[in-house]
Amino acid sequence: MTIRRILLLAFLLVSLLPAAVLTRLAFDRSRAAMLGEIEQGVMRSTAAVSAEADKLLYERLLNATTWNHLEVMQDLRIDDVDKRLSSFLSEMKLRYGGTYRALHAVDRSGRIVASSDAARIGQPYPAPGPWAQAELPGGLVHLERPTRQSGSTILLLSVSIPSQFEDGDIGNLLLEFDWDAMQSVLDHASDPSRQILLVDMQGRALGASAGLLPRVFQGGPLSQGWWPPPANVNAFDREGAPYMEGAVIVGHARSPGLARFPGLGWSYLMLQSRQAVLAPVQRMAWAFAGLLAVTALVTVLVSLLVAGQIARPVLALTDFTRRYAQPGARPQLPQGGPAEIGELGRSFVRLVDDLSHSQQTLAQASKLAAVGEVTALLAHEVRTPLGILRSSAQTLRYEEGLSAEARELLQIIDSETGRLNRLISSLLDSARTRSPQFASVDLHALARHSASLLSTQLRDRRIRLGMELDAANSMVDGDGEQLTQVLLNLTMNALQVLPADGRIEICSRNESGRLVVDIDDNGPGVAAADRSRIFEPFVFKREGGLGLGLAVVRQILRQHGGDISVVEGRLGGACFRFWLPLQGTRIP
């Protein structure tokens, strides 16, 4: 798996998982709060319907217990001969605007003596059946179960008419309450998603809102499981069958009565469609889902952007490291990205350079070690016969009778064996560099001392040596003898390639905690193709050289924590630039 995918998955887990959990928690809490509020709303609506219906019924009962005590009711004793009682009843019916289907005054025999409907006068009216009664201060009102008569439903209220002249009653006042008024109360509180059932004290349906009427058998018991409602619960959930489709929230309220009217014990069941009432919750769920989707989209886009910003430099660095190790021109270090990635790239470059430097040093040390072994063998195998040859030639030179030509040949043998001996000694000295003995050294003083040692050769070959020692601090930790050897080797290299009237300059300066020294000449210089190889053992351009001097110089400088290179010189020839750490900053 790539780092980009890992980062993307990590960002998504870190951001989307908490967002999803928080969204779910917020939705659940909001849903619970809304459901609670909905149930409370159903309960309040049920109680409001109950109160309005009780108020309507109480007003009818109050009419009955008020009118039965009026003086006009006493006309019942004289058969309402002047029709005053019938006129009163007709006037009350008109005043209440259709609340009553008819009003009757019935004598003790059950005959209608006075009525708001003149056609009914003189007809018998059967006594109401026992069903319910309500006791008010004005009398006891008997109620007959609502019945269907002549295309409408009526609730009959009957109250006795007390005699004002003797003990006992003179008859009954009958009020035919039009049940449509109660139906209007139920319908007013209902809508397509909410219906109402009116249930009497025996659990029989007294009425229902218009949407339920086709499914309710008026006067019959409720369907199984609908009555009685759960105890001490004002709202509960259940399936709406057979009255409504789907699940419903049922609000239950018992008739609380009104004023001095204790109520009839009727109950009101409000059936609220759960699907309809939860529509806001569903919309809220979609809103939360949309919010989560937007959050997810933004998170993915931001995660892709951030992961790309992090992964892109890493991938660029990976490609850089892959190409860096391949042969050819070194690629450029990628730019941009976090600072840590840039530092990682620079550290990698330093590591590879250090490894390359170490490999070169190891290769050079291996070559010098091989030279040491060879020179040790040469010293043992060659120096002895050379010494014998030289001493024999020196002895023969003193023999008498030798010709001039013989003496010249012996002189050649002596000088050449001496040169071979010096060459072997030089080879041994170059190959067996000892470990430096560090001490405080003034490199300017060493440069001046080296110039004085070479003054004779410089004078003989008419070479000018100039110095521009501008470094403010020339103190280094090093081995004075080995650093002197470095200065002498580099100056001698220039001296040996320069023609008469040549020029050498030794310059110094301080740079970033280092002492930088340039040894510049106006000789033939070093070709650009040879600059990377000139410090390797046995690589030389000068006739008669062994190619070990510059290799030894670089080995000494690296042992001191420095290094050397060949650069373009100011004088047109070769410029050997080496640097050493200043005192106190030596690299181990």
| Mean pLDDT, residues 170-179 taken together | 93
Segments in 68-122 forming alpha helices (H): 84-95
Query: Which sequence spans correspond to the domains of the chain?
Result: 68-182, 436-581
Pairing of strands 464-469, 503-511: parallel
Name the nearest CA neighbour of 316 among 290, 294, 299, 338: 338
- Report for 355-369, 382-396, 417-431, 515-529: range of highest mean pLDDT: 515-529
201-210 pLDDT, tens digit per residue, is: 888 888 889 8
On whether the CB atoms of residues 546 and 427 are closer than 8 A, the answer is yes
Pairing of strands 235-239, 247-254: antiparallel
Pairing of strands 247-254, 439-442: unpaired
**How many other CB atoms are found less than 10 A from the CB of residue 448?**
14
Label residue 544 by pLDDT band (50, 70, 90): very low
How many angstroms from the chain centroid is the CA of residue 218? 63
pLDDT reading at 588 higher than 50: no
pLDDT reading at 45 higher than 70: yes
Label residue 175 by pLDDT band (50, 70, 90): very high
The CATH classification of domain 68-182, taken from the options 3.40.47.10, 3.40.50.2000, 3.30.420.480, 3.30.450.20: 3.30.450.20
CATH superfamily for 436-581 is Histidine kinase-like ATPase, C-terminal domain (3.30.565.10)
How many angstroms from the chain centroid is the CA of residue 190? 49
| Mean pLDDT, residues 111-115 taken together | 94
Question: Which distant-in-sequence residues (6+ apart) come within 8 Å of 326 by Cβ?
Answer: none
What is the average pLDDT score of the chain? 81
450-499 pLDDT, tens digit per residue, is: 888 888 888 888 899 999 999 999 999 999 888 988 998 899 888 888 88
d(CA 350, CA 356): 10
**In what side-by-side order are the strands of the sheet with 205-208?**
205-208, 194-199, 267-273, 247-254, 235-239
501-512 pLDDT, tens digit per residue, is: 899 999 999 998
**Phi and psi (nearest 5°) for 359?**
-65, -40
- The secondary element (H helix, E strand) that includes residue 10 is helix 3-67
Residue 440's pLDDT is what? 92
395-452 pLDDT, tens digit per residue, is: 777 777 777 777 777 787 877 777 677 666 656 655 555 678 889 999 999 999 988 8
pLDDT reading at 587 higher than 60: no
